[in-house]
Structure 1
Amino acid sequence: MAWLYLVCAGLLEIGWPIGLKMATQPNKVVLGSSLAVVFMVGSGLLLYLAQRTIPMGTAYAVWTGIGAAGAFIVGVLCYNDALTFWRALGAIMIVSGVIVLKLASH
């Protein structure tokens, strides 16, 4: 169950940068900021639950890895962020690191 909490926490971690990006639009400051806070709280709560059984370093790395790679993908798909070889390689390396940490936790 802890790994489910952790994956869900990582997915919620993607939401707060989206909320902050939304908040940069003049008519969506309150909505975007509110969404960012909700996602931060939810993500943090699920990370807390996951860390009851998953080592802190592993949980934190997986959590931030899912959030970073997810935010990268959303940025490319929804906000026209540049997709270059080096940026894609960096995202692949993050995902690879998360996979290695998961495999090493057994």
Structure 2
Amino acid sequence: MSIIVKDVTKIYGKQKALNKVTFEIKTGEVVGFIGPNGAGKSTMMKIITGFIPQTSGDVSVNGHDVVEQSMLVRKNIGYLPENNPLYLDMYVKEYLEYVAGL
């Protein structure tokens, strides 16, 4: 799986969460996002996975634009945020099995 992020900016109201971020992850590479709270890690993951759109810039996963071809991207990528958004009493494995069955 390859991910290309080019000049991505995300603005919430007057707050700029991401400012012209650019990087490329090639197939087979292992990458982690690190940084303090508010650095934009979760925002970038939500953009890459198609949960939210970027304000400007381009993002593609396996050559598919995350906005224009979001369904193709979502079929090939998974994202589990740090907190289970629906069922607080489920273990991670149970939640993943539940979501995979939808």
Q: Please report the TM-score for the alignment, with normalisation by the length of structure 1.
A: 0.30
More helix by share: 1
More strand by share: 2
Higher relative CO (CA 8 A, sep ≥ 6), structure 1 or 2? 1
